[in-house]
Amino acid sequence: MQELTHFIGGKHVNGSSGRFGEVFTPMTGEVGAKVPLASPAEIRAAVENAKAAQPGWAATNPQRRARVFMKFVDLLNRDMNSLAELLAREHGKTIPDAKGDIQRGLEVAEFAIGIPHLIKGEYSDSAGTGIDIYSMRQPLGVVAGITPFNFPAMIPLWKCAPAIACGNAFILKPSERDPGVPLRLAELWIEAGLPPGIFNVINGDKQAVDALIDDPDVAAIGFVGSTPIAEYIYARSAAHGKRVQCFGGAKNHMVIMPDADMKQAVDALIGAGYGSAGERCMAISVAVPVGKATAEALMEQLVPRVENLKIGPSTDASADYGPLVTRDALERVRNYVDIGIKEGATLAVDGRGFKMQGYENGFYMGGCLFDNVTKDMRIYKEEIFGPVLSVLRAEKYDEALRLCNEHEYGNGVAIFTRDGDTARDFASKVQVGMVGVNVPIPVPLSYYTFGGWKRSSFGDLNQHGPDSIHFYTKTKTVTSRWPSGVKEGASFVMPLM
């Protein structure tokens, strides 16, 4: 069995804690590798290595940093196929889906190539008599990212690319369920010319997370995962005076208005609700048809589509989705379906009994579809994170809008309509961070920011885009006056401009 490593100071380093986790191959159910789980001492060693390397990188001028990013993007494109195969093997998503995972991360690395422009400060000439004021953006130092299993390429790149471009050293603690791609990214950074110690991968569990949070030399923490853990990391990190951005769970609604193109809406629900086996924080998990006729038309088209979803191994490019990431994840989703039945929802399509021929030990589940869901049910309130879609019927538009606004999560939302006034009103009034109009998964492009509202996000700044530059830098403002600009008898007690 393959034994994975950490990546510290530009090289692979064997774990020394004696503790390991299992990395499964979801499509077969077999254990494919074991991953070391770092001790606090190993975390400290990685932080010290990063701390030593960071000043030299911060002193590298921005355009030279940008050239490293140009090379890194070329290498990601060169190795796209092998990275996607590795990602699919460890995660379970199909290879086309894996390529999408890598591509959306690559785009943030492309955005970071513009770092010479992105970190420019401001300058005011003659703000007062003989006085100039200017600001500069400087790196924080050593920063860390704690990333989830469901996007093992995209989210690490969302975190590390802007951080490194700004002159920081970055420590990645990826999910122990699929660490292969993060380790490969570390190798590509070195090949691109990044100095050793600027990007490090340290594998681990809660021990490693707590050690990063508590380390006095880690200036900032970024996290993506479930809301309870996001809240824990945010509170503990803030108590240590760190800068923090933590992104949690979601329950994304899609409102279908009576005038919507129903075929387009159903196509969107199939992709957004069941793609990647529903293991996405931006997956649509609640469909809200407005009006009885809309609901009946939706269910008439949706049921056969869900019944005919093609589930396959990760290597099947024609599959709609592959297996879930672990057996525990599979059992958790099945349990939610059982809960929905007990709560009184109508299970219109039951995928719990699905078995993949030739892969009977894999972590597969067929698509499930609930109708007549109500807002007091657990399957509506809680994030299921699997191939389960709930239909909650609304009588009028105002009721549908209120459902979106009253839910504790506010990550993403969509509305399908042909009416511009309705779409505009919805986009203005909905209390959710990312909104799609006839777009089911409204993930912004790299030059905008990604982030939810309410209990989907903890912290003031979002991921990628301009917010990421603000998060990974601190602003210094300089007020200067030279002798030629000083009048005789001027007071310096409190300068008056």
**Size (the chain), residues:** 497
pLDDT band at 130 (very low <50, low <70, confident <90, very high): confident
pLDDT in tens, 218-251: 999 999 999 999 999 999 999 999 999 999 999 9
- For residue 424, give every residue at least 6 positions away whose Cβ sits within 8 Å of its Cβ, in sequence order, or none: none
Name residue, tokens 């409204």: 442
Domain 2-248+456-478 homologous superfamily, CATH? Aldehyde Dehydrogenase; Chain A, domain 1 (3.40.605.10)
Pull the structure tokens for residue 464. Answer: 């990628």
Catalytic: which of 160, 166, 281, 404?
A: 281
pLDDT above 70: percentage of residues in the chain:
97
pLDDT band at 493 (very low <50, low <70, confident <90, very high): low
Is residue 491's pLDDT more than 90? no
Catalytic residue flag (residue 281): yes
Note whether 289 and 392 are within 8 A (CB). Answer: no
- For residue 170, give every residue at least 6 positions away whose Cβ sits within 8 Å of its Cβ, in sequence order, or none: 50, 142, 143, 144, 145, 159, 160, 163, 164, 198, 199, 200
The span from the CA of 192 to the CA of 72, in Å, is: 5
pLDDT in tens, 331-344: 999 999 999 999 99
Is residue 257's pLDDT more than 70? yes
pLDDT in tens, 351-407: 999 999 999 999 999 999 999 999 999 999 999 999 999 999 999 999 999 999 999
| Neighbour count for residue 4 (Cβ, 10 Å) | 22
Whole-model pTM: value is: 0.95
pLDDT band at 497 (very low <50, low <70, confident <90, very high): low
What dotted CATH number matches 252-437? 3.40.309.10
The span from the CA of 160 to the CA of 156, in Å, is: 6
The span from the CA of 198 to the CA of 52, in Å, is: 9
DSSP string, 78-115: HTHHHHHHHHHHHH---HHHHHHHHHHHHHHHHHHTTH
Express the helix, strand and coil content of the chain in percent, nearest 5 each: 40, 25, 35
Domain boundaries, the chain: 2-248+456-478, 252-437
DSSP secondary structure code for residue 352 in this structure = T
The span from the CA of 356 to the CA of 365, in Å, is: 9
pLDDT in tens, 180-223: 999 999 999 999 999 999 999 999 999 999 999 999 999 999 99
